[in-house]
Structure 1
Amino acid sequence: MVSGSVRKHGLAVAGICVMLLVGSACSDTEAGGSPSPGATQSSGTPGASTTPGASTTPSPDPGAASVSVVPAKGATSVKPDTPVTVKTSVGTLKDVRLKDDDGDTVAGSFNTEKNQWTSAPQLEPGASYTVTGSAEGTDGATVPISSTFKTLKAARNLKASVVPLNGETVGVALPIQIYWNNPVKDQAAVEKRLKVTTSVPVDGSWHWVNSKQVNYRPKNYWPAGTKVTVNIDTQGVNAGSNTWGSASRKISFAIGKSVVTRVDVKKHTMYVTINGKLARSIPITAGKDGFTTRSGVKVIMEKFATKRMDARTVGIKPGDPEYYDIHDVKWAQRVTSSGEFMHGAPWSSGSQGSANVSHGCVGMSLANGQWYFQQTLRGDPVIVTGTTRKMEPGNGWTDWNTTWAAYKAGSALS
């Protein structure tokens, strides 16, 4: 049996222990001592995470921009198809520009991080270039960029002449034709720089006629009303044999209404279809024996309200019974390089619709010739049938006499 005094003494000791425990806990907090194992500290910042294991990634030390430019400053004989690159290993690039000695700017672009800028690979041969701009380091300081270099001189420059003309409205059969001033050895490299865009989908192909000419036509005639742009982006292209593209060009043109002409030599009749509907049947005369009109798909190349026609241009000399020299042939439209035309021919009115009496041209009355002239555009097709004499390749714009498979095979990228 425990005495009352002992019980009171025990309670007193327990009370002292509780006070010591409480006092010890308060003392640790107020003194800033280390928490006991497993305890969690709060940052005291509202919303701060107290999840065990959470950490904060320290910011990198600030640093100055460190810029490199390729080609190197002062470089010479740089290949024109070399892209210019500007990089910084610290920070970002600002407002990089590449200009030639005429002040023309070369296109370029930044990467996503804006720590690299790359130009288009289209420098002009034999030119000086200047790179300017700036880079900003992570220290906030701006570092200027300035570098110059020169491209190599080409043995031959490559430039293009183009059919049709910029802004021209042409017929539905006109092939785009690019004529180079120098032969192209690496036709694939050059063709990669050629692009045709259209306002409506068109399936088309490039076709190399020879080393100095490449043409483009659609699989079928151009849709009436189509808008077409040709981008000849050949500045800086390596055409082979130290021939380099020295200029780029862009032309735009439009396709007019659909005017398709069919000439049946045996029936001595020409049928003109406009936008899919027969507009007029015209009595004609074509080439007589020895001057047979060629059959095939021809394309109107030139138009003359009045044209002098001298037989000497086709090898017939004065004194020959077949010689002629007519100074005022009306409504003449050329369809072959060798001299076939569609034109008014009042001197053969008695034979039109019944006999072939010309030297190869398709003749019609002056009234019909004028009407037809007013309907057509350069590039409209003239399909001739009824003779055994065929169109020779290259005797005019003869692209449509080649099968589509063979035409596509003429691409350097096929």
Structure 2
Amino acid sequence: MVSGVRKHGLAVAGICVLLLAGTACSDTNGNSNGGQSTPSASTSQSGTPGASTTPGDSTTPSGSNQAASIAVVPAKGATSVQPDKPVTVTSTGGKLTTITLKDDDGDTVDGTFNGDKTQWTSSDLLKPGATYTLSGSAEGTDGATVPVSSSFKTLKASRSLKASIAPLNNDTVGVAYPVQIYWNNPVKDRAAVEKRLSVKTSVPVDGTWHWVSSKQVNYRPKNYWPTGTKVTVNVDTQGVNAGNNTWGTASRTISFTIGKSVVSHVDVKKHVMTVTINGKLARTIPITAGKDGFTTRSGVKVIMEKYTTKRMDAATVGIKPGDPNYYNIPDVKWAQRVTSSGEFLHGAPWSVGSQGSVNVSHGCVGMSLKDAQWYFGQTLIGDPVIVTGTNRTMEPGNGWTDWNTTWAAYKAGSALS
């Protein structure tokens, strides 16, 4: 005979059996089959145009555990992708854990995650005509890892855009040196390119870009560079669309330092040059300048080249042998070029008797060998030479003539002004 307590226990157990027969027993995660998770048979489809997707669990009720679903833009296998468009990887139902994007040279493209790591966006522009491979992983709210894998190709450029930069990396230059960027092909969309150019300085400097032509853009500060300034120029033009299917294929960064301040003033009428170093008068030098018919140009010139010895042949400026003004001197000492057309400051022992009193040169500024050697030792490429006293002015582009333009006009030469 079964006691009353025993009968009551069996009744409760019977009820439990009936309940379990009607509903599957679940673990704490809501998974059936003895705690083993059963993948959903459905596939999530991204609503993003041009996106490739990775299968995930889209049937699990909101708020429950689910597998990560991945969408990649551009789509896997895409071709002719524009290099200036960002690559994005988006996860729903979980978060991204690692994302790596590399080109066929093995170079990695930088990118950033958003705050909850549900999206990664590339921050670098891409190379034209390259194949890119995307890899990584995501983790769903169900704890399962989903691989991320894709590849695509960028469009091929009809013309590439590459930069040559002056000064060179690690140079120490004078206070009037304008940064000069020369392009191998014309730039149609100057604003798009200029947006990718930057100048960083170790002290605050007010400066601007100025387009000399479609193949050259310069940068100068409002006033001369402060002595000792560290300057970094970043030409971040890889992937930029310069117009006419011309695309940037490389980026460059160079750094240089501004040396001591050496500012020279040449007074052609008074036949004298004063040299100021770091704001203090260092020397007054008797000079001779261009005679009639060979007038020395007035304006702000910049030392472009330096030669301890330089051959000077009048044929290079159109004066032929047999002309009374022809000369060919093989060993001119301490020569410093200030115009493209051939004006120099140099030692001129043959005109010492005229220095300080008469202008007898063919346009150059001549001085004694002793003064020329001293002066050569003080200057850097990029130092300014300010010439006054003549009615012949500097032509734009005849050397580094940036400082002969007013600041307002120079700023107006920026594509972003």
**Aligned-residue offset at 1:59:** 9.5
Runs of 4+ in structure 1 off by over 2 angstroms are none
**Do 1:80 and 1:121's aligned partners in 2 also have CA atoms closer than 8 Å?**
no
**Do 1:81 and 1:123's aligned partners in 2 also have CA atoms closer than 8 Å?**
yes
Summarize the Cα distance change of 1:133–1:163 in structure 2 as closer, same or farther, 3 Å threshold.
same
| Matching of residues 310-325 of structure 1 within 5 Å | 310-325=313-328
CA distance, structure 1, for counterparts of residue 332 and residue 109 of structure 2: 51
1:165 is matched with 168
Match of 2:177 among 151, 171, 174: 174
TM-score by length of 2: 0.85
> Which runs of 5 or more residues in structure 2 are unaligned?
1-60
TM-score by length of 1: 0.85
**Do 2:266 and 2:272's aligned partners in 1 also have CA atoms closer than 8 Å?**
yes
**Do 1:84 and 1:121's aligned partners in 2 also have CA atoms closer than 8 Å?**
no
Corresponding pairs, count:
357
CA distance, structure 2, for counterparts of residue 96 and residue 262 of structure 1: 59
2:362 is matched with 359
**Do 1:227 and 1:255's aligned partners in 2 also have CA atoms closer than 8 Å?**
yes
CA distance, structure 2, for counterparts of residue 327 and residue 89 of structure 1: 77
2:284 is matched with 281
1:73 matches 2:76 = yes
What is the aligned-residue identity percentage?
A: 80
| Matching of residues 263-342 of structure 1 within 5 Å | 263-342=266-345
| Matching of residues 2-401 of structure 1 within 5 Å | 60-401=63-404
Whose Rg is larger? 1
CA distance, structure 1, for counterparts of residue 279 and residue 124 of structure 2: 46
- Letter of the 1:209 partner, please give it: V
CA distance, structure 2, for counterparts of residue 106 and residue 347 of structure 1: 62
**Do 1:82 and 1:121's aligned partners in 2 also have CA atoms closer than 8 Å?**
no
- Letter of the 2:91 partner, please give it: T
**Aligned-residue offset at 1:60:** 2.5
**Aligned-residue offset at 1:94:** 1.6
**Aligned-residue offset at 1:90:** 1.7
**Do 2:166 and 2:179's aligned partners in 1 also have CA atoms closer than 8 Å?**
yes
**Do 1:265 and 1:386's aligned partners in 2 also have CA atoms closer than 8 Å?**
yes
- Letter of the 1:64 partner, please give it: A
**Do 1:81 and 1:238's aligned partners in 2 also have CA atoms closer than 8 Å?**
yes
> Which runs of 5 or more residues in structure 1 are unaligned?
1-57
- Letter of the 1:153 partner, please give it: K
Give CA deviations for 1:69-113 in whole Å, capped at 9, x if unaligned: 111100000011011001101211122111110000111111111
The alignment yields a C-alpha RMSD, in angstroms, of 1.0
Give CA deviations for 1:269-299 in whole Å, capped at 9, x if unaligned: 0000000000000000000000000000000
